Structure 1
Amino acid sequence: MQIDLIALKITAEIETIKEIIALMAIWKPDLTSRRGPKYLQIVEALSDDIAAGILTFGDRLPPHRELAYQLSLSPNTTGRAYAEAVNRALIRGEVGRGTFVRGPATEAPALESGTLQRPANGPIDLSRNLPLPGLAGEKLASTCIELGRSGNLAALADYQTEADLHRHTAAAMLWLKRHGVASTAEETVITAGAQHGILCALMALCEPGDVLLTEQLTYQPLKAMAARLGLKIAAIASDSQGPCPEDIDRLCRQRRVRALYLTPTLHTPTGRTMPQERREAIATLLNAHGVHLIEDDVFGLFHPGRQQPIARLAPELTISITSTSKYLAPGLRVGFVRAPARLAGAIRGAVNLSCWMTPPLNTEIVARWIGDGTADELVARQLSAASGRQALARQILGEHAPRDRAAGLHLWLDLPDGWSADQFCVRAAGRNVLVTGGEAFAIIPSAGKTSIRICLSHEADAARLETGLSVLRHILDAGPRQAPLVL
């Protein structure tokens, strides 16, 4: 009997040693010729090895702590690498089993009836700030039937200019008016969504080397746009009400500032809405320094008590940007810009240079919806659904939820003491929930290190959202010193 127990113990130890040896032999990236942050070097090596066939679907990767030991790195670095690889859909973690290379054949997102194509399984994605899916599908079907009967499809399939389709401009003016911005036909420009509108505004206003002001935390693509256009970004200090006027004044006195980019209502990423007094103070500074404002108002309709846009206070210096994507149908890619008449021509030129024109068929659909009341219905449904998800999030997160007014499609969470955003994102990814760390929105390195953004609308299934939020609540309750889940 004693001999049998000893034999079992020896066998178990041998199996443990075999497992350790096997894990060490699974995969070890070669980082010798790579540059950049170590965690991204690991992700790039992983991606390259998958592309080369060195790693294939279902291959198991070493736990991130074991990989850290092999590479003489900190577990935080390898944990961050695995979290980023999950974000890029390169790998998946299975609780109690390990981390595996993902395969498109069995893990492609499912197309569910009446919704946009979004994952119905796999990691719960709370990292993408997209509108709720599926609300426009039935309306789009009937509109397409009407268009087929109209006899006007040939014109909509041909090249057009804004002068050819006056009703599109009229619809754009109505949408801008809904956002509190008065516009004439001469001042109105149609773009392929708000992001395109921002790019065109920057192209129209700025030359390489110009200074662009924005908040320390800002819309992610703005940094890439500025870099492509050769602009210098300067970060404005902010407080609970928004960008600090005294810091804008200081920067305008010290540097030759060309433009300022702001989202006054439901700011990306913090969700903060600027009070009227702060808007007035910023408008005063714009007029004093002759600096142009790019006012992004894509979330404005989600806020029931929103203040008047800054464009109303400084119309000759403000380019107003709105979009239908967050309310009607993101796939149509239709946005509207109001610019002072002296700048509108340059913005039209930027549209022509970048994509020639917004597809007339898409704009026709949006214009019909704005004119016949369909847009009103879709906006009401989107706002109602967003409000319900905000309530659900705050109920589940409890005392961890932000204390500001619930509105919009996302939450900005300042983490409790002891957490870093990277640490939290890795912990959440280990539980198959994806969120975005605040540093992704940061203009300066110190911003966003202890905050995360939680998006409520990308997941089509409310049950998956509820599960994801419950996981986040559990992680917050457990605290940062809990031993991290080994992938």
Structure 2
Amino acid sequence: MWYPDPETLHSPLHASLAVAIEQAILTKELPAGARLPPHRKMADRLGLSVHTVSKAYESLRKQNLIDGQVGRGSYVCGPAPHPAPQRSEREGGFDFSTVSPVRNKEHSKRFQTSLQELAAELDPSALQACGAVAGSGAHRAAGARWLAACGLAAAPERVLLTNGGSLGMSAALSALTRPGDTVLADSITHNLLVSGCSYLGLKLAGLKADCDGILPDALEDACRTSGPKVLCLRPSLANPVPVMMPEDRRRDLVRIADAHDLCIVEDDPLGPVAEDRPPPVSALLPERSVYLTTLSTCAMPGLQAGYMAAPGHLRPALTSRLLSFGGAGAPLMWELASRWVTDGTMLDFTSWQRHALNRRHRIASRVFRGVSWRGHPSALHLWLPLPDGWSSGSFSQYARQLHITVAPDTPFLASGTCPPGAVRVSLGAVQDESHFRKGLELLAALLRMEPGCLPHLAL
């Protein structure tokens, strides 16, 4: 008789037991025709109630993974032609492809309450006219306060408001480059940087990196040979490979950039979510750096407000690009962001987000035990290299048949970068924690298989 490891079970116990049996069936540890222990024996062995085991078996029966006959007990039917987990309409499968913060009911409650307060207190004219492109003085002062929480000291006059990180990145690249210029970044970098450089007619060159980020020697060689104009960095839990670049590596890159008159665009969407992190690169080279951060990643996607810090000589060019790419300001979102920064709501959300991501990282550590992966306790995603025989495209398609979406590696690659065979798994879009755990467990089961052993999932 086969029994699961009781240490892998967690609350709710019936769902956890069902997942353990489902994994054993998918990996053929429990082949078709194998008998499952009777309800009472399974309950006694695992220290569960008979009712809990019955609920787990019933869940598997609904998925056509097991069946039962009088006199034979419960036995394995084998994977169905298109195996799929039981999905609630509320969750709609497992979305591990969208980078999104973890949220709960308190986020929605505070959002609704704040909007009601704004409607009652804000001068109606503020909502009926276009806002200043860079934000009002009060908005910029709140921005300077938030940047200080991110580790960057910036006077309010150095602060510009944006309608999100993507707009800030586009404006910065456009202001610092001309079509045909070379931009440097990690060889595996943010997908919006890849597409943004393409749209602006820029050459994106990927640099070699190690576990601490871009290698200084690679940056030095590129500066000598390709005449780049901009270095794009995400040193604090970069997307898609979550790396927390140590301070000495940041200083090495700053020294090289300064020696070669290279401008830096630093994207820091998580801000203070990660504690005890090194100072931003922009704090080390403020006169040659544009720093970007956004509040939607720290709190909720709907809060499309971000801050940009730049030296005074770049402000006119950046302001004109913000106007060209994003139009006039969004006073309602900027006002809400300013209030939340000022009254401490954003720091409350940041602290909550940090603890939620820590829990999810611990879950991933247990589920992917024995599997090679890259992550960080404060990151919104993890990077999952695939075993031999898998490409990111084929793995993504197999996962999709289990109603799981992940992000393949190809959109994150700078020109000329060989696909590493990996996927990005986001940790925040699946809001229910038990549902999140089950999705990861199904991914872990799929990782242990080989494509040739999955004819029932033939593409």
Q: TM-score range by the shorter chain?
A: 0.7 to 0.9
Structure 2: which 5+ residue stretches go unaligned? 1-78
Give identity over the alignment, percent: 29
State the match for 1:262 in structure 2. Answer: 233
Amino acid at match of 1:334: A
What CA distance in whole angstroms lies between the structure 1 residues aligned with 2:91 and 2:375? 32
Deviation at 1:164, TM superposition (A): 7.0
Q: Spell out, residue by residue over 1:67-112, the C-alpha distance to the aligned partner (whole angstroms, 9 max, x if none).
A: xxxxxxxxxxxxxxxxxxxxxxxxxxxx73559xxxxxxxxx99xx
Deviation at 1:197, TM superposition (A): 0.5
Deviation at 1:235, TM superposition (A): 1.3
State the match for 1:363 in structure 2. Answer: 334
> Which of the numbers 124, 129, 135 marks the counterpart of 2:99?
129
Deviation at 1:286, TM superposition (A): 1.0
Q: Give 3-state SS (helix, strand or coil) of 1:264's partner.
A: coil
Q: Spell out, residue by residue over 1:186-229, the C-alpha distance to the aligned partner (whole angstroms, 9 max, x if none).
A: 21110011111101101111111111111110000112111111
Q: Give 3-state SS (helix, strand or coil) of 1:260's partner.
A: strand
Moved more, 384-393 or 364-373: 384-393
Within the alignment, does 1:486 sit opposite 2:428 as a pair? no
State the match for 1:194 in structure 2. Answer: 165
Deviation at 1:303, TM superposition (A): 2.1
Q: Give 3-state SS (helix, strand or coil) of 1:333's partner.
A: coil
What CA distance in whole angstroms lies between the structure 2 residues aligned with 1:316 and 1:164? 22
Q: 1:122 to 1:486 in 2, by over 3 A?
A: farther
State the match for 2:47 in structure 1. Answer: none
State the match for 2:446 in structure 1. Answer: 475
State the match for 1:350 in structure 2. Answer: 321
Deviation at 1:315, TM superposition (A): 1.0
State the match for 1:297 in structure 2. Answer: 268
State the match for 2:80 in structure 1. Answer: 96
Q: Give 3-state SS (helix, strand or coil) of 2:259's partner.
A: helix
> Which of the numbers 368, 377, 380 marks the counterpart of 1:406?
377
Q: Give 3-state SS (helix, strand or coil) of 2:431's partner.
A: coil
State the match for 2:205 in structure 1. Answer: 234
Q: 1:399 to 1:345 in 2, by over 3 A?
A: same
What CA distance in whole angstroms lies between the structure 2 residues aligned with 1:438 and 1:156? 42
Deviation at 1:342, TM superposition (A): 0.5
Q: 1:354 to 1:253 in 2, by over 3 A?
A: same
Q: Give 3-state SS (helix, strand or coil) of 1:230's partner.
A: coil
Within the alignment, does 1:213 sit opposite 2:197 as a pair? no
What CA distance in whole angstroms lies between the structure 2 residues aligned with 1:149 and 1:483? 60
Within the alignment, does 1:204 sit opposite 2:188 as a pair? no
> Which residues in structure 2 correspond to 1:76-87 (within 5 Å)?
none
Deviation at 1:405, TM superposition (A): 4.1
State the match for 1:432 in structure 2. Answer: 403
Q: 1:259 to 1:278 in 2, by over 3 A?
A: same
Structure 1: which 5+ residue stretches go unaligned? 1-94, 100-108, 111-118
Deviation at 1:404, TM superposition (A): 5.5
Deviation at 1:162, TM superposition (A): 5.7
Q: Spell out, residue by residue over 1:271-313, the C-alpha distance to the aligned partner (whole angstroms, 9 max, x if none).
A: 0111111101100011100010000111242322311111121
Deviation at 1:406, TM superposition (A): 2.7
Q: 1:255 to 1:462 in 2, by over 3 A?
A: same
What CA distance in whole angstroms lies between the structure 1 residues aligned with 2:187 and 2:418? 6
> Which residues in structure 2 correspond to 1:249-328 (within 5 Å)?
249-328=220-299
What CA distance in whole angstroms lies between the structure 1 residues aligned with 2:306 and 2:101? 15
What CA distance in whole angstroms lies between the structure 2 residues aligned with 1:199 and 1:403? 28
State the match for 2:52 in structure 1. Answer: none
State the match for 1:335 in structure 2. Answer: 306
Q: Give 3-state SS (helix, strand or coil) of 2:278's partner.
A: coil
Amino acid at match of 2:170: L
Q: Give 3-state SS (helix, strand or coil) of 1:399's partner.
A: coil
Contact in 2 for aligned 1:123/1:432 (Cα 8 Å)? yes
What CA distance in whole angstroms lies between the structure 1 residues aligned with 2:378 and 2:450? 27
Could you tell me the TM-score, scaled by structure 2's length?
0.77
Q: 1:163 to 1:474 in 2, by over 3 A?
A: closer
Q: Spell out, residue by residue over 1:410-432, the C-alpha distance to the aligned partner (whole angstroms, 9 max, x if none).
A: 11112233332223222222222
> Which of the numbers 161, 182, 193 marks the counterpart of 2:132?
161
Deviation at 1:142, TM superposition (A): 1.4
> Which of the numbers 135, 138, 142 marks the counterpart of 2:109?
138
Moved more, 394-403 or 266-275: 394-403
What CA distance in whole angstroms lies between the structure 2 residues aligned with 1:164 and 1:418? 52
What CA distance in whole angstroms lies between the structure 2 residues aligned with 1:395 and 1:178? 32
What CA distance in whole angstroms lies between the structure 2 residues aligned with 1:389 and 1:194? 24
Deviation at 1:480, TM superposition (A): 4.6
Within the alignment, does 1:388 sit opposite 2:359 as a pair? yes
What CA distance in whole angstroms lies between the structure 2 residues aligned with 1:190 and 1:163? 5
Contact in 2 for aligned 1:191/1:357 (Cα 8 Å)? no
Where in structure 1 do 4 or more consecutive aligned residues deviate above 4 Å? none
Deviation at 1:248, TM superposition (A): 1.1
Amino acid at match of 1:295: E
Contact in 2 for aligned 1:203/1:350 (Cα 8 Å)? yes
> Which of the numbers 415, 426, 440 marks the counterpart of 1:455?
426
Contact in 2 for aligned 1:259/1:294 (Cα 8 Å)? yes
State the match for 2:414 in structure 1. Answer: 443
What CA distance in whole angstroms lies between the structure 2 residues aligned with 1:466 and 1:421? 21
Deviation at 1:258, TM superposition (A): 0.8
Q: 1:480 to 1:255 in 2, by over 3 A?
A: same
Contact in 1 for aligned 2:141/2:156 (Cα 8 Å)? yes
Deviation at 1:332, TM superposition (A): 2.2
What CA distance in whole angstroms lies between the structure 2 residues aligned with 1:416 and 1:138? 43
Q: 1:363 to 1:152 in 2, by over 3 A?
A: same
Amino acid at match of 1:209: G
Q: Give 3-state SS (helix, strand or coil) of 2:286's partner.
A: coil
What CA distance in whole angstroms lies between the structure 2 residues aligned with 1:157 and 1:393? 47
What CA distance in whole angstroms lies between the structure 1 residues aligned with 2:283 and 2:340? 26
What CA distance in whole angstroms lies between the structure 2 residues aligned with 1:151 and 1:452? 45
Could you tell me the TM-score, scaled by structure 1's length?
0.73
Deviation at 1:319, TM superposition (A): 0.5
